[in-house]
Chain A
């Protein structure tokens, strides 16, 4: 199974400041079709998860452009350019390159 490791597990951030979350996979996420199926999900308190970004850097419909994804192979990053109050929650990376699908442990974003 592919293990997804996120750092940090907790990130206190000042409103208006940037935030960054890293995700490392135990093996390459490049699929045989050439795509890299690495997604980022946001889960606000009391809410279901919501897709933010898929295939490393493609923002899903309705996701603000302050969210961006980057990386390749086994190392990926989610960046929030300027944190807003509504960004509080837990962020997960997830791989859909092979079964079983696996998630990172989650990174809790909170406001200082």
Chain B
């Protein structure tokens, strides 16, 4: 079964850091671009970042550029998001999604930034 499973969320103070992971299974991870999308409580979807299959192309939303870093390890079938200098407005459920078509989504991991 094709699956994505996020982990690494939690409660962090403003200015702190967190590293999210997304474990992929059931498909050839190295063949697909990957994405992070977030959803603040009660709000809509916001694209955060994308990475190509070989990591050669990386894109970020302006709201996270310079603070977040997307990466992947194709040998471990895993996608990551290093989140630094976190702000209250980064509080959201973070989803990983497969490919340019966003065709498979994980269940999400909650990140709460609060003092």
Q: Which residues of A approach B to under 8 Å, CB–CB?
A: 37, 39, 41, 43, 48-51, 54, 60, 90, 92, 94, 96, 99-106
CB pair A50–B45 under 8 Å, yes or no, is no
Say yes or no: is B112 at the interface (Cβ < 8 Å to chain A).
Answer: no
**A92 and B62 contact, CB distance less than 8 A:** no
Q: With contacts A48-B95, A48-B107 known, is A39 near B47, CB below 8 A? A: no
Contacts of B97 in A (CB 8 A): 49
Say whether B50 faces chain A, with CB atoms less than 8 Å apart.
yes
Once A48-B95, A48-B108, A49-B95 are accepted as A-B contacts, the answer to whether A103 and B44 lie under 8 Å apart by CB is yes
Measured between beta carbons, the chain B residues less than 8 angstroms from A49 are 37, 45, 95, 97, 102, 105
Bound-state CA distance A41–B44 (Å) is 12
The answer to whether B44 touches A39, judged by C-beta atoms less than 8 angstroms apart, is: no
Contacts A94-B45, A100-B59, A103-B47: A54 and B103 contacting too (C-beta < 8 A)? yes
- In the bound assembly, the distance between CA atoms of A92 and B97 in angstroms comes to 15
Residue of B37, B61, B97, B102 with most chain A CB atoms under a 10 A cut-off: B102
Say yes or no: is B78 at the interface (Cβ < 8 Å to chain A). Answer: no
